[in-house]
Amino acid sequence: METLTMLQITWFILIGILFAGYAVLDGFDLGIGSLLPILTKNDEKKVEVLFKSIGPVWDGNEVWLITAGGALFAAFPHAYATVFSGFYLALMIVLFGLILRAVSIEFFTLETENKGIWAKTFFIGSIIPSILFGVALGNVIMGVPLDADMEFRGNFFTLLRPFPLATGLLGFTAILMQGLTYTMIKTEGEIHATAKNLAGKVWYGYVILFVFTAVISFAFVTGSACNIIAWIAAAASCASLFATRMFIGEGDEFKAFLSSSLAFISLWGIAGALQYPVLVRAINDPALSITAFNASSSKLTLSVMLGIALVGMPVVIGYSIYVYRVYRGKVR
């Protein structure tokens, strides 16, 4: 196999790992934000406890998204340009939500007389990207109309189709499960009890949406029914989901979070298996699809980037492990 082809495949996998890492890590603080009114019942002291549980790590979690976006831009610029121009309005809404989260968590601690307002804006800023990320991924998997210049030929409402909406809701429930299991790890008392009780209910929605999305994928995603790797990833996701339910019932918080994370990673494994080697599928003509092989940067660029990644990624992972070790334990 040629060196360029190997580099293209390597970067396809690495970018998938970066997005999966973002989903697992930022997923739990997005999940906490999306459930903030339910977990706290608008009690400012409970909101403060949850903010303290994510305060040391939430901004570091979002570095994974920035890194993934930067890697996509450098490795596959045509795919980056098509996605960010075609999904412009949706991505601007996501960006607005992420900015709102950052502003809210800072002002909550500084502007004490308006804590209730900033808790609500944090909730809004969390729930918007939690749903739209999955919708965007669903559109990439199903395919969007592209022209010969690799440009998106549709509008905002083109993105709101049954399969992408189903993946959006599935991703949302996965994020909620991450948030609830992390809340169980970091809190005690009433918040912990509420999270545990709610996790059992969200689990049923997670399973139903997983099955529903899998079934309709046979109709909307070409080749999904006979993709062996996707089936293996789906089996891993199912096993992790049932393990999550078991550990929640047993009160083993860390294992519940770990199995929830594995279920989430397996969802990305399904997406990667269905996509490879396509980055953006052209639903109108498969020949126009943007792939890892027709949209990559040069061999030199991919090689230099790989060298940087081999040095930088262990540092990032090591820093993340250190931070989580320092701030381990319950928030009181």
pLDDT in tens, the chain (332 residues): 678 999 999 999 999 999 999 999 999 999 999 999 999 998 989 999 999 999 888 888 888 998 999 999 999 999 999 988 888 888 899 999 999 998 998 899 888 888 989 999 999 999 999 999 999 999 999 999 998 888 888 887 888 899 999 999 999 999 999 999 999 999 999 999 999 999 999 999 999 999 999 999 998 998 888 999 999 999 999 999 999 999 999 999 999 999 999 999 999 999 999 999 999 999 988 889 999 999 899 999 999 999 999 998 888 888 888 988 888 888 87
- Residue 294 φ/ψ, nearest 5 degrees: -105, 5
- Residue 146 φ/ψ, nearest 5 degrees: -125, 155
The span from the CA of 43 to the CA of 28, in Å, is 20
With tokens 């498969």, the residue in question is: 286
Whether cis (ω within 30° of 0) applies to the bond prior to 277 is yes
Q: CATH assignment of 3-326?
A: 1.20.1630.10
Rg (CA), the chain: 20
> Running DSSP on this structure, what letter comes out for residue 291?
E
Two structure tokens written together for 115: 């804590």
The span from the CA of 284 to the CA of 276, in Å, is 18
Of residues 242, 237, 244, the one with CA closest to residue 268: 237
Q: Look at residue 1 in the predicted model and tell me its pLDDT.
A: 64
Q: How many residues are given for the chain? A: 332
Q: Look at residue 170 in the predicted model and tell me its pLDDT.
A: 97
Dihedral sign (CA 120, 49, 242, 236): positive
**pTM of the full structure:** 0.94
